[in-house]
A and B are shown apart, each in its own frame.
Chain A
Amino acid sequence: MQLTKTRKKREKVDVVANAIVIFFAVLNLFPLYWLFTSSLKNSSDVIKMPPDWWPATITFSNYVEVFQSQPALRWTFNSLFVAGVSTVLVVAVSAMAAYAFSKLRFTGKNVLFIIFISSMMVPKEVMIVPLFRISQDLGLVNNLFGMIWPNVATAFGVFLLKGFFDSAPDALREASRIDGAGEVRTFLQIMLPIVKPGIGALFILNFVQVWNDYLWQLVIGQDKEMKTLMVGIATLMQDLNPNFAYKMAGATVAAIPMLLIFLLFQKYFTRGISIGAVKE
């Protein structure tokens, strides 16, 4: 590529801007660096001033303590269960609805779709009082399913997957119907495989969202054993134990699963998150 005069000038502004961007990118990761290194220090080094930028002696005792003094393993299981089951249900329920809204013809379709989508922007937190009372009536308080159902009700998945079904060719569906396959078989065997990328994006987005959900899980999981990882770990902040390294070890345990998911599935995130935005 030829470097024209304008191109050279452009690089200058650009270099400064990118230098700033990189500086803040690194700075933005510093709290996580501090979290992780602090979790490896012993209880006196962690509050030493001036601080050790890298632990003088590395110890894993804080992690041992998190898992011994707290039911952290149980919390991790609860989080995995709640996020996993919610996500499977979200994918199933919203794939069905999205398919119907995209490909089937029925009376009232557009009105129903608009009503669904309108609910998407309202966070369940603002309805937390009635939602909690309903959960009480249904015996869902202190119950992992109480954390699951309200998440499955959200319409985001319908919105996301409908876009994917819309771009799937009608011809395939019609061919399958002419071959004598019923609607259910057409849906499961022909249409679902086509929207796999959408399902992938929804799966990850929803899993992370439920995993990091806090307030609803806080009010539903009341016994110590019924807390999820985020809620349980947050209680370490109020723990009488003054050792900050121990609290940071807990926070690291809560952070690691999501870090792994992000590093493994970065591509899906970018796509999934961007789908919500309106295209010109």
Chain B
Amino acid sequence: MKLRQQQRRENLTGYLFILPQFLLFLLFIVYPILEGIRLSLYRVDYQNETFVGLDNYITLFQDPVFFKSIVNTVIFVVFIVILTVGFALFVASAVFDKNAKYVSFIRGSYYIPVMVSMVVMSMVWSFLLNPANGLISYFAREMDFSTVNLLGNKTTVMPVIIFVTFATNVGQAIILYIAAMIGVPKDLFEAAEVDGASRKDLIFKILIPLVKPTTIYILIINIIAVLKIFVVIQLLTGGGPNNASVTMMYYLYNNAFKYNQIGIASAVGVIMFIITLMLSVPQLRAMFKDK
């Protein structure tokens, strides 16, 4: 009897400690997800909501702009993530065993653009790429490139945005890799070195396999981050020219806050929610296996 009372008290203490987080979680995460799913099945005109079943989803998949936004988002995810992981591995494996001052200089140089934010970096790039008086356009003109307005051209706009996003955000992956590589026990390298392994061997056969958990983590957080790519699109291209750089998040935003298509926008949100949830399963599994 007394034991049960004590257990009840322990339970109560535990619940009280998690209560604030739990309430916020219900109100700002669980409820919006459910409400988003519900709204995606309705047509919403200001105060009137009419149930339309899967009509919003059907409309979406018949809209060539939505289709384009999916294709573009996939292209962004694939190229930006591959560039990020590849380049970050290269940088981290080159510097991780050097002296601490040098490591922190490299880390800082690549991380500062992440810190000052995508908004600020997009503004600088928008100036650099401005066709009338941007530095890059000036060089393009001097070197007789066929296109000077790199953001206004359908074929160049995607590569430029891929590059800008990659260059701005790669610092985070570099920091993660350097931390992981510094954590690899030194005797592993020494043993391999005694056996006559070259640095290339050390990196490809020991270092990279050992930081695999970090690679998985970087892959997932970057895929999810690029999936919701928005700022750079809004500030550099506005989805143009002629929807050539429209993304799912930008499409969602326009439908929700410009065209007042609440049902359609909710359906895009639900699709993106399902994608992110599926993508995060391997990471979550790894985290719980960890315990």
Count residues on chain A whose CB falls below 8 Å from chain B CBs.
104
What 0/1 pattern do residues 218 to 239 of B give for CB contact below 8 A with A? 1011001100101100110000
- Across the interface, A123 reaches (CB within 8 A) one of B18, B199, B228, B283, namely B228
Contact: B127 with A101, CB < 8 Å?
Answer: no
Q: How far is the CA of A92 from the CA of B18 in the complex (A)?
A: 11
Q: How far is the CA of A51 from the CA of B273 in the complex (A)?
A: 46
Q: How far is the CA of A48 from the CA of B228 in the complex (A)?
A: 37
- Across the interface, B217 reaches (CB within 8 A) one of A21, A28, A183, A278, namely A278
Give residues of chain B (199-221) contacting chain A, Cβ–Cβ below 8 Å: 199-200, 210, 213-214, 216-218, 220-221
Q: Flag the segment in B32-40, B63-71, B76-84, B151-159 that touches A.
A: B32-40
Contact: A25 with B106, CB < 8 Å?
Answer: yes
Known: A47-B132, A126-B272. A233 touches B119 (CB 8 A): yes
Q: From A261, which residue of chain B is reached at the shortest CB distance? A: B115
What 0/1 pattern do residues 249 to 291 of B give for CB contact below 8 A with A? 1001100110000100110010011001101100110111010
Least CB distance from B235 to A in Å reads: 6
Contact: B133 with A49, CB < 8 Å?
Answer: yes
Q: How far is the CA of A219 from the CA of B130 in the complex (A)?
A: 27
CB of A3 within 8 Å of the partner chain: no
Q: From B11, which residue of chain A is reached at the shortest CB distance? A: A106
Q: How far is the CA of A163 from the CA of B273 in the complex (A)?
A: 27
Q: How far is the CA of A252 from the CA of B121 in the complex (A)?
A: 10
Least CB distance from B188 to A in Å reads: 12
Give the chain B neighbours of A17 by CB distance below 8 A.
Answer: 90, 93-94
Give the chain A neighbours of B272 by CB distance below 8 A.
Answer: 126
Contact: A29 with B228, CB < 8 Å?
Answer: no
Q: Flag the segment in A55-63, A66-74, A127-135, A195-203 that touches B.
A: A127-135
CB of B21 within 8 Å of the partner chain: yes
Give the chain B neighbours of A158 by CB distance below 8 A.
Answer: 21
Say whether chain B's binding surface is mostly helix, strand, loop, or mixed: helix
Give residues of chain A (127-152) contacting chain B, Cβ–Cβ below 8 Å: 127-134, 149-150, 152
Least CB distance from A243 to B in Å reads: 11
Known: A112-B18, A215-B230, A244-B130. A183 touches B13 (CB 8 A): yes
- Across the interface, B117 reaches (CB within 8 A) one of A4, A21, A50, A258, namely A258
Q: Interface residues, chain A, CB within 8 Å of chain B?
A: 4, 6-7, 9-10, 13-14, 17-18, 20-22, 24-26, 28-29, 31-32, 34-35, 38, 46-47, 49-51, 92-94, 96-97, 99-101, 104-107, 109, 112, 114, 116-134, 149-150, 152-155, 158, 183, 187, 208, 211-212, 214-215, 219, 230, 233-234, 236-237, 244, 247-248, 250-252, 254-255, 258-259, 261-263, 266, 269-270, 273-274, 276-280
**What are 19 A-to-B residue pairs whose CB atoms are below 8 Å?**
A13-B200, A21-B91, A21-B95, A22-B106, A34-B124, A101-B18, A105-B14, A116-B21, A126-B252, A130-B269, A212-B119, A215-B230, A237-B123, A237-B126, A247-B127, A252-B120, A266-B107, A270-B179, A278-B290
Q: Which 10 pairs across A and B sit closest by C-beta, in order of nearness?
A: A106-B14, A121-B280, A47-B133, A100-B17, A153-B28, A25-B109, A274-B179, A130-B35, A212-B117, A255-B116
